[in-house]
Every structure is written in C-alpha cells, then in structure tokens.
Structure 1
C-alpha cells in the first residue's frame, strides 16, 4: 500500500536528497516551482531532464542511472504512462528509499512492484503541499 499516514510522510520528508525526474527549466511549471521550493527548504535536489544542461545552477542528468550521488527520493513529474520505466530505473539503484509521484500521477502496478522490492511509494501527492502542511510554518 502506498504511504498515506502523516507520520510516514513526515519520516519521508526528513530525507535529504531528491532526484526530480522531469524537472523543468520553465518557472511557470510545477516541475520547476516544487523543486525550487524544496531547495529553499534545505533539500539537495538533483534535476533529471535529458533536455537541460543545468537547472537551478545544478547539473541536470539525462537519467537516474547517470546520477552518481546517492538518492533518497525519486520525485516524478512525468506522465503516469512513464512511471513504470522510472520505477524500473529507480529499482536498479540500491540507494532509492522512496518513489514519489506528484499530483495526478500514478501507476498502481509499478507502485506495487516497487513496494515488493522494499521501496516506499507515495502517489498522487505534491511534495511542496505535503511539506507545507506537515513541516512548514503558517506563513508559508
């Protein structure tokens, strides 16, 4: 079962390094705004976008396999039909603890596969919204 409880979400939000698959260079997109917010709140965000060289002054990687540092969370900003392949790439790594798909993005079969491999899954939730709700200050 995907993570649903506030306690489990808080535990996940306590992790540090987030690879954002589908991170955008366009400030008008949630795939840019959410990772920017996460950086501003102390997370180490690794952009994954094969069409960008750099986002937020950080090297953008072509794929999860191209990331040479450890990843705690894979945050997915790609269509639901691409989640299965992203889950496969995440499971090929030994360091990914959580796969998180943003609002409107879900693949129950891929989520089940990830959970069977011991990876926690959060589906159809925004990290920024959950961070603000659970850890943010009232003024945010």
Structure 2
C-alpha cells in the first residue's frame, strides 16, 4: 500500500492517465469537478460511468474492463460509495489480469473499505486510502 507522502508525490508526478470510476457528467458533482481539475493539470482523464457517452471530450466507459487494453492507466480513482469500493477494486484486479498493467488504486475520502483493501492487497495492487486527489495534488504542486 502507498502510505507515505513521498510515494503519493511520486505517483502523481509519474502518472499520465487517470481513470475515474464514478465520474459524473453533472457539473455539480465532485467527481466531475475532479475530472476537469485533473485535465487542466495535464492528465488524461478517462471517465468510467454507465450512461454518458463522453465527459470533457473523453469517451465514457461502462466499466474499467471495457477500456481497450492498449490504453495505459496509471491511476484508477474511485469516486463511488464505500459500499461499492470492493467491486471497483475487483474490476481493477480484472483489468490487471487482462492487460498486465498495475495501476495505483486511489480511493477518495470515505470511499475505502476493509474488503476493498483486502482485495487490493491480495492482487498486489498499490492502494491510496481515503485521500482527495485534488487536495494531494495541491499539496505537492501548488
């Protein structure tokens, strides 16, 4: 698991593409604001949410597992209720098996769950627990 400030800084510094599970097309939702925030800072943001066709010029996928395997994903940011965190981490584990990629799982504030953390650990997925990606970005790069 990633726990130290220096590791989080490194993750944010090296990342180019961030998939956001639960990215909303509604501008009043925090996940939508985070997508725009990250895009404006140079990241490619891939929205994952069944329903919308695109958000901020990027194709929106029904699930992480539907993203083409040739797209390198560095961080999977989970913006879902903690009741669904374990399912989202299972999708990341499936993505890892499908693509041989090992993205960092990033759970927003109050999103992580013990089950999600256990699944991440079992699948050797790096994990950031309950941290706002925008706050952490500002902490290191502002």
Deviation string for 1:16-46 (max 9, x for gaps)? 1110000011111111001110000011110
Consecutive unaligned residues of structure 1, counting only runs of 5 or more, are none
Distance 1:134 1:6 in 2: 9
Aligned counterparts, 1:90-101, within 5 A: 90-93=92-95, 94-101=100-107
Q: How many residues align?
A: 135
Q: Is the 8 A contact 1:74 1:96 kept in 2?
A: no
- Tell me which stretches of 4 or more aligned residues in structure 1 moved more than 3 Å: none
Q: How much does 1:62 deviate?
A: 0.5
Consecutive unaligned residues of structure 2, counting only runs of 5 or more, are none
Name the structure 2 match of 1:47. Answer: 47
Distance 1:84 1:9 in 2: 22
TM-score normalised over the length of structure 2? 0.90
TM-score normalised over the length of structure 1? 0.91
Name the structure 2 match of 1:30. Answer: 30
Distance 1:85 1:104 in 2: 15
Distance 1:50 1:113 in 2: 23
